[in-house]
Amino acid sequence: MTLNTSLLSNYQSEEVWLPFSESILEWDIDFHELMLGDRIRMAAYKKAIQEVVKPGMVVLDLGTGTGILGLWALQAGAKHLYAIDVNKDILAIASENFAQNGFTGKYDIFHGMSYDIDLPTQVDLIISEIMGNIADNEDFVPILTDAYKRFLKQSGIMLPSKVCSKLVPISSLKAHQQVQSQKVKRINANYSIEKLLQRLASQSPFDTYYDAIIPGTSYLSTPQVAKQFKMDGNDKAVYETNLTFIVEVDGIFTGFKGSFSASLSDSVTLDISGSDIASHTTSDSWKHCYLPVKSPVKVKQGDEISLVFSRSYPEQKDSQFRQCYKWNGTIKSQGKIINAFYQSMENENSIN
């Protein structure tokens, strides 16, 4: 497959993009090419798969897409591969890839959501890359919990084996202005901010997250862990996390940067928080998660930003992949509340 290179490296710091993970069921080849060209993603997964896959293993590639991770597993000596994806057109590419690489007879393709699929045997290893830029925004918790319980042998391995999301308050008026004016980038014409807001039943562009590279120079404090996932069948998809950040540099608080790091193998950790586009420490496809607040707030060293960050599902789920994050809290200066923020992906009006 030849990559559409115009999609790669074609982004700048603090440039706001529509959230990739909110349109999973519409991903076409452009989205998959962007992922296939994501240097840190591809290098980390390739190295980890070569390290973890042992000859003779039966492997499941859950959410195989174009089949690249499953292909690497077969090339590393997997005895048999099961490949599942809900996207029929992309799955056809995976099938072609496995056959063209000489693996006919060594793989089975399953079309549909993993919940609805039964495999002929349990597997030694489940490989997946269904993480969003704040870890669980492609709903990996229920999907991988179900897969862990039904598909994995007792001695089996999950790749990734641990994932953690992080949040930090930021000062980026540039990113904030793009959200305010609704002038955000998109990777193809089928996906627009109007369509996104309509789907979320939201009036405010501040009540959703975005994709953007947010540099370390924008941090107002030190990043903190928002949630840890152990991939052991017990992770929670619905939760609330309380964090307090002490402002370390004066600035204008405009929201939070979210990111994740994932343990893919003993020696490979994929961390998407890097922000140096020129030296390729950034992820070309995930970027970072930008959770904006509606009203920017001037803050100074020593102020406190308290955050309640939560994840839930909407009352009426219009798609398998619909989720709601909320980020609300207060800003205190010398012990007194000076401002508050309240943003929510649930169908309710934001206040502030």
The verdict on 68 binding ligand SAM (CB under 6 A) reads yes
Which residue of the chain is nearest ligand SAM when measured via CB? Answer: 63
Omega prior to 142 cis, within 30 of 0 = no
The verdict on 133 binding ligand SAM (CB under 6 A) reads no
The verdict on 7 binding ligand SAM (CB under 6 A) reads no
Alpha helices (runs of H) in the chain, residue ranges in sequence order: 29-36, 39-52, 68-75, 88-100, 140-151, 173-180, 193-199
Q: How far is the CB of 55 from ligand SAM (least distance, A)?
A: 22
DSSP letters of 156-212?
EEEES-EEEEEEEEE--HHHHHHHHTT--B-SSTT--HHHHHHHTT-S-TTSS-EEE
The correct pick among 7, 78, 134, 143 for binding ligand SAM (CB under 6 A) is: 143
Q: How far is the CB of 320 from ligand SAM (least distance, A)?
A: 7
* Comparison of 87 and 221: residue with beta carbon closer to ligand SAM: 87
Determine contact, residues 301/248, Cβ cutoff 8 Å: yes
Q: How far is the CB of 138 from ligand SAM (least distance, A)?
A: 6
Strands 107-111 and 80-85: parallel
The correct pick among 40, 130, 134, 152 for binding ligand SAM (CB under 6 A) is: 130
* Comparison of 85 and 303: residue with beta carbon closer to ligand SAM: 85
Contacts of 32 (CB under 8 A, 6+ apart): 65, 66, 90, 93
Report the SS3 class of residue 301.
coil
Q: Number of residues in contact with ligand SAM, rule: CB under 6 A? A: 18
Rg (CA), the chain: 20
The correct pick among 16, 48, 60, 86 for binding ligand SAM (CB under 6 A) is: 86
Q: How far is the CB of 341 from ligand SAM (least distance, A)?
A: 30
List of residues contacting ligand SAM (CB under 6 A): 24, 35, 63-66, 68-69, 84-87, 90, 113-114, 129-130, 143
